Structure formats: C-alpha cells, structure tokens
Chains A and B, each alone.
Chain A
C-alpha cells in the first residue's frame, strides 16, 4: 500500500451552499488542488478538491459529493491525505521531508546514532532532528553536504559526519 501524506484539513462549512474552509499544509498552499483525489486517514472517503477562493489562513473549496452546509459541517476537522507517489520527483540533493523522517542515522564509522524525527527550517538551512536511545535530548544537525554526505532512501539510512560538539 502506498504511504499517505497529510496535505490539509477541513475547517468546517463556508456559507450555506456546501462549500468548506480548507487549510493547506503544502509548501505552496494552492498545490493541494493538484494532487487529485484525496482520502481521509482511514481511506473510507475519497474527495476531489476544487478551490473557489481564499479566506484568512486557508481556502474555500468545493468537494465532490458535498452539496449542503450540513454535509460540510460533518467534515469539520477531517484531515486529507494524498498518496506519496503523487508527489512529483525531485532533482538530486533535494528530498521530501516525509522521505527523510524515520531514516536511520549512522556515523561514518557505521555506528547507529538514532532516527530522523523531524526536519525543520528556521530560515538558515534545513535541520534534521535526530533522536536516539543513547541521546539525552534530540540533536539538530544541519542538512548540508559536509554534515550529511550520504542519503540512501532505498536502504533507509543516512550517513552523517557531524561537526564537533553536536553528539
């Protein structure tokens, strides 16, 4: 089964004609419309999104099969998921956060340091948050060619050469 990625959430009804307020989690918020049919977490419902406008903090949208305000209200809080294989492929040295999260982290000597818990960007460069059994706290590692020389998505491992004083 293809991995599902959360790309948005429904905020509730917008107006009385079955439109919904939609919150997008995508890097480019309007891209939520481009991923085709979206599903709920359990896969019980499949919805097609058509953006109709924008509101503060999101969009207004029309979903297939949702015609009334009551139907739209019933969807409040539901998260929308897209299959991972719908995301476009990326050039070398560019990775989706979802692909990096969960990878095993090894040092250059082959010792396991932990797993990638999240990827963050505070404006400088991307940072990998690494969490491991032997670590007291999580460690933030800059996602650079020198600090992370190897990323192997096939085997699910990252080899890092961290700067002194991080681990």
Chain B
C-alpha cells in the first residue's frame, strides 16, 4: 500500500539540515548520509549526497528526474560490475 498523501514525503530531519547547511555554505562537497529511506525532495536538486550502502558512501548527484525516489535506490548494496564492452559514459 502506498503512503498517504496527507502525510507528505518522508525525509529524515538530519538530511534536511545537512542539505540546507551545504546549500547555504555554497561549498562543493559530498553530503554524507546514512538515510537510504529518505525521499529526494526538489530542494536537493544539484547537490551531491554520499549515500551509505553498508560499506561506503556512493556519490549521488541529484537531478530533477530523481525527485520522489528514495536515496537508497541509487546506492546498491550488492556488487556487480559487469563488463565494460561498448558501454558509454556521458559527462553532464
């Protein structure tokens, strides 16, 4: 069952505080968080979070199309690299 709309999205309070502090400081930094369950909010767009996967913090650059998802979705807890083959990386 999905979460009731009247409750609003769930975000751990410390994530909001850290994000706000980082935005105010204007520094280019990775915001380390452990809260994989927090929802990605519009005010997080443009920031880089280091989302813990139980082993290390995976950098996650938040973009607009990630709003509404959870941080944990971008920080896998199991390792599978696969093959490079003809895969491409785009610098954005």
Binding site for B on A (CB under 8 A): 5-8, 24-27, 31, 87, 90, 93-98, 100-101, 118-127, 137, 140-146, 148, 151, 161, 163-166
Number of A-B contacts defined by CB within 8 Å: 114
Query: Contact at B66–A163, with CB atoms within 8 Å?
Result: no
Query: Contact at B58–A122, with CB atoms within 8 Å?
Result: yes
Of the listed stretches B4-12, B13-21, B72-80, chain A binds B72-80
Contacts A122-B58, A124-B74, A164-B27 hold; do A101 and B84 have CB atoms under 8 A apart?
A: yes
From the candidates A25, A121, A123, name the one contacting B85 in the complex (CB within 8 A).
A25
Which residues in B have their C-beta under 8 angstroms from that of A144? 61, 91-92
Taking CB atoms and an 8 Å cut-off, the chain B residues in 57-86 that contact chain A are: 58-63, 66, 73-76, 81-86
Query: Contact at A125–B30, with CB atoms within 8 Å?
Result: no
Which residues in B have their C-beta under 8 angstroms from that of A25? 82-83, 85
CA distance A147 to B66 in the complex (A): 20
From the candidates B75, B85, B89, B90, name the one contacting A6 in the complex (CB within 8 A).
B85
* Beta-carbon nearest neighbor of B74 in chain A: A124
Contacts A124-B63, A125-B61, A165-B32 hold; do A119 and B89 have CB atoms under 8 A apart?
A: yes
Query: Contact at A95–B58, with CB atoms within 8 Å?
Result: no
For this complex, into which size category does the number of interface residues on chain B fall? Answer: 20 to 34
Between A and B, 26 residue pairs with Cβ closer than 8 Å are A5-B86, A7-B86, A8-B85, A25-B85, A27-B86, A93-B90, A93-B91, A94-B88, A96-B84, A96-B88, A118-B84, A124-B61, A124-B62, A124-B63, A125-B63, A126-B91, A127-B59, A140-B56, A143-B91, A146-B28, A163-B28, A163-B29, A164-B27, A164-B29, A165-B50, A166-B59
CA distance A124 to B90 in the complex (A): 12
Which residues in B have their C-beta under 8 angstroms from that of A87? 86
Which residues in A have their C-beta under 8 angstroms from that of B90? 93-94, 126, 143
CA distance A101 to B85 in the complex (A): 11
Query: Contact at A121–B29, with CB atoms within 8 Å?
Result: no
Query: Contact at B66–A124, with CB atoms within 8 Å?
Result: yes
Most buried by B among A8, A100, A140: A140
Most buried by B among A90, A118, A125, A161: A125
* Beta-carbon nearest neighbor of A166 in chain B: B30
